[in-house]
Structure 1
Amino acid sequence: MDTQTSVAPRRVPWNKGKLVGQKAPLRISEIWAIRVRLEIYGRLRDLALFNLAIDSKLRGCDLVRLRVLDICHGAHVAHRASVIQQKTKQPVQFELTEGTRQSVSTWIATANLRNSDYLFPSRIADSPHISTRQYARIVRQWFDEIGLDPTAYATHTMRRTKPTLIYRRTKNLRAVQLLLGHTKLESTVRYLGIEVDDALEIAEQTDA
């Protein structure tokens, strides 16, 4: 008598064919490729959002909740701003470059935003500002338009870009830790993808 043994279907891992882990930061050439494209096509909101994301190094959840008054002093965009991070409840400061201040100022004037308004209001009636999901879609569009692999880049790419560029130039872990608002140096080490032994040696040299 023949017996049949049922074989359970093999489950496909959720991450098969996908790149997981840290997302790559943008190179300087890629930053300018996106920036110039947004300028040429007059996408004022996206240009302000892109520049502010790079300069602020904020997580998406903090970036989309920014109000005009968070980065403006009266009618002028400030050179430096400070916000409370939603995840850590700790304040973090960031500087706004001239290009970012100009693009944000142009967007505020064009959108006729008041001080109490969100910087990036949503077009959806029941949402006061763009959601993190909307932000992710916008970011993916930027990357797609210059031919970047969407599996290797994401919203966290925006947060990682400037700290990575600064670290490569200065090797100053403590400065990057402050810029990112990390409470532990180990978090910054993991964030930048640095070998632990190398990071500790660099930190000791910096503190010396």
Structure 2
Amino acid sequence: MPASNLPAIRACRPAWNKGRLVGQKRPLLPKHVWAIRVRLELADRARDLALFNLAIDSKLRGCDLVRLRVADVYAAGQVKERTSVLQSKTRQPVRFEITDGTRKSLLAWLDDPDLVGSEFLWPGRFHERLHISTRQYARLVRGWVTSIGLEPSSFGTHSMRRTKVAQIYRKTGNLRAVQLLLGHTKMDSTVRYLGVELEDALAISEAVEI
């Protein structure tokens, strides 16, 4: 048989996700949130505590969270109770609340010398980088979850985005509220994002008697 008719032999490359857990990252549980907060407070890490708290409250994608400006959360000498930002993915505005504990941690961070003169809320370490990158943010999240004994491959930046809405959905079952809070344009996206499956539907149905 001519060599030209032989099937090509290609080197076997390992799958890009070999040894990794893929799929949706899990949201943090309330006990995880409080454990991380305590560790950051004890370590006196003002920036990380403010970033962690605002990530939970805002429910923003990492790319929007790292680009927040001081003016987005601070005006007239105080941290806003609610604010709105334009999402880079959808180009649609999304509003979110800033709870009392988060406002306190933000005030402490705003008084930090490292933030003086910065337009961005999370300034970068180098002059050419105005704010931290999404990769830096991902490393911080990895450090936070690892510090309380969680498996880092199971969690990521989207864990921060999903944490509060997962609790809201669990307590209320209100998908429309979750859709608005996440800034999703389609309900299907919210359903997939929360991982609402048949078991959830059956549980809701079982709770209703006719």
TM-score, structure 1 normalization: 0.88
- What corresponds to 1:58 in structure 2? 60
User: What is the CA-CA distance between 1:12 and the residue it aligns to?
Assistant: 2.0
Of stretches 145-154 and 90-99 in structure 1, the one that deviates more from structure 2 is 145-154
Tell me if 1:145 matches 2:143: no
User: What is the CA-CA distance between 1:198 and the residue it aligns to?
Assistant: 5.6
SS at structure 1 position matched to 2:152: coil
SS at structure 1 position matched to 2:95: strand
Deviations 1:85-127 (Å, cap 9, x if unpaired)?
0010000000011000000011001237468710111112210
1:105-120 correspondence runs (5 A): 105-111=107-113, 113=115, 117-120=119-122
Give the partner amino acid of 2:79. Answer: V
Aligned residue-pair number: 198
Question: Share of identical aligned residues, percent?
Answer: 61
Of stretches 116-125 and 64-73 in structure 1, the one that deviates more from structure 2 is 116-125
Of stretches 117-126 and 188-197 in structure 1, the one that deviates more from structure 2 is 188-197
User: What is the CA-CA distance between 1:196 and the residue it aligns to?
Assistant: 6.5
SS at structure 2 position matched to 1:17: coil
SS at structure 2 position matched to 1:81: strand
- What corresponds to 1:76 in structure 2? 78
Of stretches 124-133 and 189-198 in structure 1, the one that deviates more from structure 2 is 189-198
**Structure 1's 114 and 76: CA in aligned 2 closer, same or farther, altered over 3 A?**
farther
Inter-partner Cα distance in structure 2 for 1:116 and 1:41: 24
Inter-partner Cα distance in structure 2 for 1:113 and 1:123: 11
Inter-partner Cα distance in structure 1 for 2:116 and 2:190: 36
TM-score, structure 2 normalization: 0.87
- What corresponds to 1:34 in structure 2? 36
SS at structure 1 position matched to 2:71: helix
User: What is the CA-CA distance between 1:175 and the residue it aligns to?
Assistant: 0.2
**Structure 1's 115 and 55: CA in aligned 2 closer, same or farther, altered over 3 A?**
farther
C-alpha root-mean-square deviation of aligned residues, in Å? 2.3
Unmatched tracts of structure 2, length 5 or more = 1-7, 205-210
